[in-house]
């Protein structure tokens, strides 16, 4: 089989994998690069533009996996688009939101090629989306005449436990199989239960490596980390400050809200209003509505009922007093420019009463990453728009990741027992750690750290 990594960058970047198996062609994910602007943020579709792609399968609805789907469909208009039933409820909202964001960026940052697609285009392609539950085998190329005479390969979604709808993808050909982890979480989160990848065996494994450079902390437990977060929030509010937790709208927002609901229920935090973003609110409703169809804990917890949620718009943020002990759970997780988290951070940063608590990955080159790195009292460049700022507020990191730990991923490699492992979705030190470990433990496994656009005979 042939695999091409279409991510334009060697870092996490934009997920998109081209796979050719039994003469059929599949694209897995169609993301955008969160740190690049305009056409540079797109996967290298031109590298495969002459190929006839039969199908596009989505692992989940985060931007770095789905944000360029309408562009991919211009290249491959005949491709059928497959996703899990839960992603089906989410994907259109994500794409419409990204049209809005790009339109704003065109005006405010002068990026002429934005938006890369329109609302009408999203509506048009949405009519072709097909949703499947996990554990169903889909003949993804049955619609197209085979070039090899071989029957259509199949694909099957496996619950990945990372965010609502997230799945790993198993591709089965006549003689060989491939498994793509997507973004995966092997431990229970507060809402979502761990991935169900138990019986996965495959010849080729494409694996995420997000946390490859993070050594596990001794004696770490998630419960203790959540208590530490609760205590830190309480302290900041008691000294008269406000607290901001920058998050992704899908997944992180709902997990943090569930933690806050439990902390309030247990009396560890006083009940009070929580401010969230509009998109976060939409996905919170979908989490509530789909609770009984989701592989999750707390099936009876309705975030919208358990918490007093207030949606923030841009104007409210600007006029809002921060000295009245508020809690914000707002996008974006890495505080990219033109987001509520970015704009609020500028207002909070100079005052030592306030607190900003990170609960997920922030790229070192993002505003959030730079804020984490700066020392208290240090003046640093936060973003192009904000320029120099001084960090006086409290900033802490809480390890409440929705990505698998590196040891769990290594265990998974041993269970899958592949002949080839392809390392993706991680920066260079993370991939290097996995390559070294796999080589030492299973010297027969072939390992690839695929360069952008390069063909791998896997
Ligand atoms: Zn993700
Ligand atoms: Zn991702």
Contact yes or no for 61/22 (Cβ under 8 A): no
Instruction: For residue range 245-286, list pLDDT tens digits in order.
Output: 999 999 999 999 999 999 999 999 999 999 999 999 999 999
Token couple for 165: 């709808």
Instruction: For residue range 119-136, list pLDDT tens digits in order.
Output: 999 999 999 999 999 999
Closest CA to 357 of 320, 329, 380: 329
Q: How far is CA 96 from CA 50, 231, 282, 378, in A?
A: 28, 37, 12, 39
Closest CA to 209 of 413, 22, 48: 413
Would you tell me how many other CB atoms lie within 10 Å of the CB of residue 241? 21
Contact yes or no for 187/405 (Cβ under 8 A): yes
Percent residues over pLDDT 70 in the chain: 99
Q: Which residues surround ligand 1, an ion (CB under 5 A)?
A: 62, 183
- For residue 211, how far is its CA from the centre of ligand 2 (angstroms)? 12
State the ligand closest to the CA atom of 209: 2
Bridge partners (DSSP) listed for residue 28: 17, 57
State the ligand closest to the CA atom of 162: 1
Mean pLDDT of 5-34: 96
- What does the pLDDT read at residue 146? 66
Quote the CA–CA distance of 128 and 80 in Å, as a whole number. 7
For the packed helices 252-265 and 222-238, what is the interaxial angle rounded to 10 degrees? Answer: 70
Q: Does the pLDDT value for residue 147 go beyond 70?
A: no
For the chain, the average pLDDT equals 95
Q: Does the pLDDT value for residue 242 go beyond 90?
A: yes
* Higher pLDDT, residue 392 or 364: 392
Closest CA to 90 of 27, 17, 30, 163: 163
Contact yes or no for 448/422 (Cβ under 8 A): yes
Cβ-in-10-Å burial (0-12, 13-18, 19+) of 112 comes to: exposed
Contact yes or no for 252/60 (Cβ under 8 A): no
- For residue 62, how far is its CA from the centre of ligand 1 (angstroms)? 5
Between vectors from CA 434 to CA 432 and to CA 440, what angle results, nearest 5°? 105
Contact yes or no for 215/437 (Cβ under 8 A): no
**Which H or E run includes 370?**
helix 367-373
State the ligand closest to the CA atom of 34: 2
Q: Does the pLDDT value for residue 148 go beyond 80?
A: no
Contact yes or no for 207/422 (Cβ under 8 A): yes
- What does the pLDDT read at residue 317? 80
State the ligand closest to the CA atom of 64: 2
- What does the pLDDT read at residue 26? 98
- What does the pLDDT read at residue 319? 81
Between vectors from CA 194 to CA 192 and to CA 196, what angle results, nearest 5°? 120
- For residue 223, how far is its CA from the centre of ligand 2 (angstroms)? 24
Quote the CA–CA distance of 304 and 278 in Å, as a whole number. 13
Q: Does the pLDDT value for residue 158 go beyond 70?
A: yes
pLDDT confidence of 1, banded at 50, 70, 90? very high
Q: Does the pLDDT value for residue 363 go beyond 90?
A: no
- What does the pLDDT read at residue 313? 81
Q: Does the pLDDT value for residue 322 go beyond 90?
A: no
pLDDT confidence of 417, banded at 50, 70, 90? very high
Mean pLDDT of 402-406: 97
Q: Does the pLDDT value for residue 69 go beyond 90?
A: yes
- For residue 88, how far is its CA from the centre of ligand 2 (angstroms)? 18
**Which H or E run includes 310?**
strand 309-311
- For residue 162, how far is its CA from the centre of ligand 1 (angstroms)? 7
Instruction: For residue range 327-361, list pLDDT tens digits in order.
Output: 999 999 999 988 899 999 999 999 999 999 999 88
Q: Does the pLDDT value for residue 240 go beyond 90?
A: yes
Quote the CA–CA distance of 450 and 458 in Å, as a whole number. 11
**Which H or E run includes 437?**
helix 428-441
- For residue 184, how far is its CA from the centre of ligand 1 (angstroms)? 8
Would you tell me how many other CB atoms lie within 10 Å of the CB of residue 235? 13
Quote the CA–CA distance of 104 and 313 in Å, as a whole number. 14
Cβ-in-10-Å burial (0-12, 13-18, 19+) of 91 comes to: buried
Instruction: For residue range 191-211, list pLDDT tens digits in order.
Output: 999 999 999 999 999 999 999
State the ligand closest to the CA atom of 250: 1
- For residue 403, how far is its CA from the centre of ligand 1 (angstroms)? 8
Quote the CA–CA distance of 14 and 233 in Å, as a whole number. 34
């Amino acid at each position: 089989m042939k695999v091409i990594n279409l991510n334009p960058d060697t870092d996490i970047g934009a997920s998109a994998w081209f796979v050719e198996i039994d003469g059929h062609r599949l694209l897995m994910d169609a993301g955008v690069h969160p740190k690049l602007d305009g056409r540079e943020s797109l996967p290298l579709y031109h590298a495969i533009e002459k190929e006839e792609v039969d199908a596009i399968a989505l692992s989940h609805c985060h931007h770095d996996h789905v944000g360029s789907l309408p562009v991919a469909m211009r290249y491959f208009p005949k491709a059928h688009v497959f996703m899990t039933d839960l992603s089906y409820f989410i994907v259109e909202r994500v794409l419409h939101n990204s049209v809005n964001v790009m339109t704003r960026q065109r005006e405010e940052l002068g990026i002429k090629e934005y938006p890369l697609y329109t609302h009408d285009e999203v509506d048009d392609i949405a009519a072709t989306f097909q949703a499947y539950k996990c554990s169903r085998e889909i003949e993804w190329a049955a619609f197209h005449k085979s070039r090899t005479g071989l029957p259509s390969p199949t694909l099957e979604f496996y619950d990945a436990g990372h965010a609502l709808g997230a799945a790993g993808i198993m591709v089965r050909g006549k003689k060989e199989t491939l498994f793509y982890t997507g973004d995966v979480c092997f431990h229970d989160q507060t809402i979502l239960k761990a991935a169900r990848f138990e019986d996965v065996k495959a010849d080729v494994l494409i694996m995420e490596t997000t946390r490859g450079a993070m050594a596990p902390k001794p004696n770490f437990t998630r419960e203790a980390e959540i208590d530490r977060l609760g205590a830190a929030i309480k302290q900041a509010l008691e000294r008269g400050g406000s607290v901001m937790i920058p998050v992704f709208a899908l997944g992180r927002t709902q997990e943090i809200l569930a933690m806050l609901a439990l902390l309030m229920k247990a009396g560890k935090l006083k009940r009070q209003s929580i401010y969230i973003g509009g998109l976060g609110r939409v996905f919170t409703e979908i989490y509530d509505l789909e609770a009984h169809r989701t592989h999750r804990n707390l099936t009876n917890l309705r975030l919208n009922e358990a918490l007093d949620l207030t949606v923030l718009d841009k104007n409210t943020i600007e006029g809002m007093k921060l000295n009245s002990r508020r809690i914000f759970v707002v996008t974006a997780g890495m505080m990219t420019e033109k987001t509520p988290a970015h704009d609020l951070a500028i207002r909070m940063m100079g005052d030592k009463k306030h607190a900003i608590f990170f609960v997920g990955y922030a790229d070192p080159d993002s505003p959030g990453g730079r804020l984490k790195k700066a020392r208290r009292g240090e003046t640093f460049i936060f973003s192009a728009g904000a320029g120099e700022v001084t960090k006086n507020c409290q900033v802490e990191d809480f390890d409440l990741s929705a990505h698998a730990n590196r040891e769990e991923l290594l265990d998974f490699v041993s269970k899958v027992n592949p002949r080839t492992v392809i390392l993706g979705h991680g920066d260079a030190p993370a991939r290097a750690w996995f390559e070294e470990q796999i080589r030492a433990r299973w010297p027969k496994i072939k390992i690839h750290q695929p360069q952008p656009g390069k063909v791998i005979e896997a």
